[in-house]
Structure 1
Amino acid sequence: MMISTASRIGFGAMHLPTEPAAREQATAVVRRAVELGVTLIDTAFLYGGGANERLLAEILHPYPGDLVVTTKVGVARSGPDGEWRLDGRPEVLREQVEQALRRLRVDRIELLQLHRVDPEVPLADQVGTLRDLRTEGLIGRIGLSEVTTAQLAEARTITEVASVQNRYNLLDREHEPVLEGCERAGIAFLPWRPIAAGTSGTAEAVSRVAAETGATATQVALAWLLARSPVVLPIPGTASIAHLEENLAAADLHLTAAQLAALGGHVSG
């Protein structure tokens, strides 16, 4: 999956309010994101049981030609008491993709991600189902989320993988080996929780670099991600236009080699 240099930061839609009373706020944020050049918006069936997907379609359909709305399947209310659980059974994945097509009002989902690998279903069955749906023309490209290097390698023996979405940020680099694998293979890496849940400003080096550049700690964290690898496409989420604009402005923040070196010393744990 190629990453446009003009839109290295996407938008995570998970935090958008879907209740009618907040619809105006959500609409303003989403439209502002597109206006500022965002070309990838990330959603999932898990976000409100499809409500987040419906919201995006109501706001944006018909979609701009350069916009990719990516969604995720593989989590369902199929627990004993109707609770959410991982569910990668082929019939569930197929049904969720078909429902997502209707909610998003599209004939094909350009990037469809497996939200999590279900340990109770062979990975070959889960990824193989998505491969079949792609062959049928319902999916353009296939992505994975929260996978290990071994799972990514196995999946790539079954089908081409366009993207990986794992938790990764300046202060939490548990999935560094996965990112390195994506970089070698030219696979887009979409870090979720890219800003370390507001803790970036507590790191001394982050605070120092923020002061040097006149940027916020959040912008430093995002700029570090962009400098970390050309395959990285962060997807910070927010329900605030001010925070959205702060996030996207990080694409214009260029850190020096010395600043990157200082930040590179902060590894989680």
Structure 2
Amino acid sequence: MQLNKLGSSELRVSEIGLGCMSLGSDEKEATKIIHKALDKGVTLIDTADLYDFGENEKLVGKALKGKREQCVLATKVGNRWDHVDEGWEWAPSKDYIKTAVKRSLQRLDTDYIDLYQLHGGTIDDPIDEIIEAFEDLKTEGLIREYGISSIRPNVIKEYLERSNIVSIMMQYSLLDRRPEEWLNRIQANNVSVIARGPLAKGNLSKRIFTDKASDKGFMDYRPSEIKDIVTKIKDISHGRKLSHLSLRYPLHHPAVATTIPGASSVGQVDDNTEAAKIELTHKEIELFQEWTKQTFYDKHRD
């Protein structure tokens, strides 16, 4: 598995990581999934305090017992739920971030977090205060690096200009090419992209041809359009799996250090990591882009 440097940091992440949101609640199965990922060369394990209201972090922490040094452990902060009856609220204050990190450390059963990410963000947030909180946590040794998880152009712009983030997590796939507007600028700032949702909720896998296919489409693609696109891709696949080609696509740009498909079974980890063995040609990338839409964020702009 190829390892890529994450932004300006010393963190090196596998080009195929593991998004843990789909782990489920069975501890034994979750442990098997994470151990399989590590065995296959995955180094980036990504969770969030909000996933199952902290229970996901606990599962990850238990699975990494005795294996903590084998991975780059990432989690997220900013959504607070401990004082409301149901749901959560956005609470990106310095005080809350400093409180939340200690809770995440406890749930993850670790002394430090490799990559601590702001789980969202708006232009109205106290951005300087948030940056100060992350910098303090670095100084205290509780986190090694920090980043943001955001698709909002105005938020991304502010953090690129004002902070020492090393990564930006963005939804990015062949069916959601909005991040491409920003990739060159992100790379120029020595920041890396972590691509989430590379299979577009299963629309870029064999599921699209089964009775499990969504009848709602994806983003601004109708189901019929998606089937047309993936049929064209399959026609030039030369035996390679559709999901593997789709997982490779975000990695074609050097700004993207890793893509993090989720997995709810050991088999899915096995399958996803096989994508590390294939490459896309320049011609294939050009065709994929010709067959799909270059869309842009129409909100949250300066």
TM-score by length of 2: 0.80
Cα gap change, 1:261/1:50 in structure 2, threshold over 3 Å: closer, same or farther? same
Q: Name the counterpart of 2:293.
A: 267
Does the CA contact (< 8 Å) of 1:88 and 1:118 recur in 2?
no
> What secondary structure does 1:117 align onto?
coil
Does the CA contact (< 8 Å) of 1:124 and 1:155 recur in 2?
no
Pick one of 12, 15, 21 that aligns with 1:8. Answer: 15
Taking the aligned partners of 2:92 and 2:285, their CA distance within structure 1 comes to 40
Does the CA contact (< 8 Å) of 1:186 and 1:231 recur in 2?
no
Q: Percent identity?
A: 29
Displacement, 1:229?
2.7
> What secondary structure does 2:262 align onto?
coil
> What secondary structure does 1:155 align onto?
helix
Taking the aligned partners of 1:257 and 1:116, their CA distance within structure 2 comes to 33
Q: Name the counterpart of 1:234.
A: 259
**1:74-223 mapped onto 2 (5 Å cutoff):** 74-77=78-81, 81-118=85-122, 121-200=125-204, 202-211=226-235, 212-223=237-248
Taking the aligned partners of 2:24 and 2:253, their CA distance within structure 1 comes to 32
Taking the aligned partners of 1:230 and 1:253, their CA distance within structure 2 comes to 19
Does the CA contact (< 8 Å) of 1:149 and 1:177 recur in 2?
no
Displacement, 1:12?
0.2
Structure 2 stretches of 5 or more lacking a match? 206-225, 296-302
Matched AA of 1:63? K
Displacement, 1:78?
6.2
Displacement, 1:94?
0.9
Cα gap change, 1:60/1:239 in structure 2, threshold over 3 Å: closer, same or farther? same
Does the CA contact (< 8 Å) of 2:150 and 2:156 recur in 1?
no
Aligned residues: 266
TM-score by length of 1: 0.90
Taking the aligned partners of 2:61 and 2:95, their CA distance within structure 1 comes to 25
> What secondary structure does 1:100 align onto?
helix
Matched AA of 2:288? L
Cα gap change, 1:209/1:253 in structure 2, threshold over 3 Å: closer, same or farther? farther
Does the CA contact (< 8 Å) of 1:16 and 1:26 recur in 2?
yes
Matched AA of 2:5? M
Does the CA contact (< 8 Å) of 2:74 and 2:114 recur in 1?
yes
Bigger CA drift: 45-54 or 175-184? Answer: 175-184
Q: Deviations over 1:143-192 (max 9, x none)?
A: 10114343233224443111100111111122223333222222121111
Q: Deviations over 1:38-66 (max 9, x none)?
A: 00000000101111111111111233424
* RMSD of aligned alpha carbons: 2.3
Displacement, 1:131?
1.4
Pick one of 251, 254, 261 that aligns with 2:276. Answer: 251
Cα gap change, 1:6/1:46 in structure 2, threshold over 3 Å: closer, same or farther? closer
Bigger CA drift: 103-112 or 32-41? Answer: 103-112
Does the CA contact (< 8 Å) of 1:79 and 1:85 recur in 2?
no
> What secondary structure does 1:33 align onto?
helix
Cα gap change, 1:118/1:87 in structure 2, threshold over 3 Å: closer, same or farther? farther
Q: Name the counterpart of 2:76.
A: 72
Structure 1 stretches of 5 or more lacking a match? none
Taking the aligned partners of 2:35 and 2:144, their CA distance within structure 1 comes to 24
